[in-house]
């Protein structure tokens, strides 16, 4: 009887020990689950918000576009031309750039070229008005991801950025423009900004007045 009781007691102790061990294992498992959830939360908190740079000399359009991007959860900085765009890029990371091609001073091509040299991982979408498609094509050759004709809203621009690969420009109704044609577009715009004053336009372009007169006389009237 005594021995039986002893066996019974031993079995009970063993069972109790097993239960205790099981409970301990369960507690450890629960702790492990909590740790995993914490890790996921930690990883989620490390997600970086994309930083946009909007470059356009039209303040109203520029700020409206910046506001639309901010409402969609992006960080946004703005610039009104080449100099301020490069200053913004030097202040911090730039992930995506929206550039208007027709601006006073150095045009959007210079912005695309210099920004991509400074921030080679940035993606660029250029905005262009009717009549400057040739310049937009040149911007893509410089590394822009895509071009959109104005007016373009935030959703269209984001869709261009989200496309899986760089969009090839659609066939144009005219031959691929030469550098002379692209140069003429720039000269024509500067002349318009200078009110047709050749001397002033030459100073803005950084060339001699006679050189500009020669270029104006040489370019065909049926451009």
What's the 3-state SS for the chain?
Answer: CHHHHHHHHHHHHHHHHHHHHHHHHHHHHHHHHHHHHHHHHHHHHCCCCCEEEEECCCHHHHHHHHHHHHHCCCEEEEECCHHHHHHHHHHCCCCEEEEECCCCCCCHHHHHHHHHHHCCCCEEEEEECCCCHHHHHHHHHCCCCEEEECCCCHHHHHHHHHCCCCCCCCCCCCCCCCHHHHHHHHHHHHHHHCCCCHHHHHHHHCCCHHHHHHHHHHCCCCC
Q: Which residue segments constitute the domains of the chain, with CATH numbers given? A: 51-162 (3.40.50.2300), 179-218 (1.10.10.60)
Pairwise CA distance, residues 223 & 217, whole Å: 12
Average pLDDT, the chain: 74
* Residue 73 in this model has a pLDDT that exceeds 90: yes
The DSSP bridge partners found for residue 51 are: 75
What pLDDT sits at residue 78? 97
What pLDDT sits at residue 125? 94
Least confident segment among 67-76, 139-148, 182-191: 182-191
Considering 108-117, 175-184, 188-197, 210-219, the range whose residues carry the highest mean pLDDT is 108-117
What pLDDT sits at residue 24? 42
Return the exposure string of 183-206: e unless at least 16 CB atoms fall within 10 Å of the residue's CB, then b: ebbbbebbbeebeeeeeebbebbe
* Residue 212 in this model has a pLDDT that exceeds 80: no
Q: Do β-strands 146-149 and 75-79 pair in parallel, antiparallel, or remain unpaired?
A: unpaired
What would the pLDDT profile of 117-154 be if each residue is shown by its tens digit? Answer: 999 999 999 998 765 667 777 888 889 998 888 888 99
Considering 27-31, 77-81, 148-152, the range whose residues carry the highest mean pLDDT is 77-81
What pLDDT sits at residue 12? 42
What pLDDT sits at residue 31? 40
């Amino acid at each position: 009887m005594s021995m039986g009781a002893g066996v019974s007691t031993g079995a009970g102790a063993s069972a109790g020990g097993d239960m205790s061990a099981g409970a301990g294992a369960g507690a450890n498992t629960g702790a492990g689950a909590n740790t995993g959830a914490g890790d996921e939360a930690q990883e989620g908190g490390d997600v970086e918000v994309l930083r946009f740079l909007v470059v356009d000399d039209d303040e109203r359009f520029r700020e409206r576009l910046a506001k639309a991007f901010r409402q969609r959860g992006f960080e946004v900085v703005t610039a009104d031309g080449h100099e301020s765009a490069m200053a913004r890029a030097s202040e911090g990371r730039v992930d995506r750039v929206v550039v208007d091609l027709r601006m006073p001073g150095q045009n959007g091509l210079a912005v695309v070229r210099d920004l991509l040299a400074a921030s080679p991982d940035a993606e660029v979408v250029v905005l262009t008005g009717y009549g400057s498609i040739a310049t937009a094509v040149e911007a893509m050759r410089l590394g822009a991801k895509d071009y959109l004709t104005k007016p373009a809203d935030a959703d269209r621009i984001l869709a261009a950025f989200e496309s899986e690969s760089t969009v090839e420009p659609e066939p144009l109704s005219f031959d691929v423009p030469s550098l002379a044609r692209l140069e003429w577009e720039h000269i024509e715009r500067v002349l318009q900004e200078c009110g047709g004053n050749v001397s002033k336009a030459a100073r803005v372009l950084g060339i001699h007045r006679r050189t500009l007169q020669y270029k104006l006389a040489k370019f065909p009237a049926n451009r």
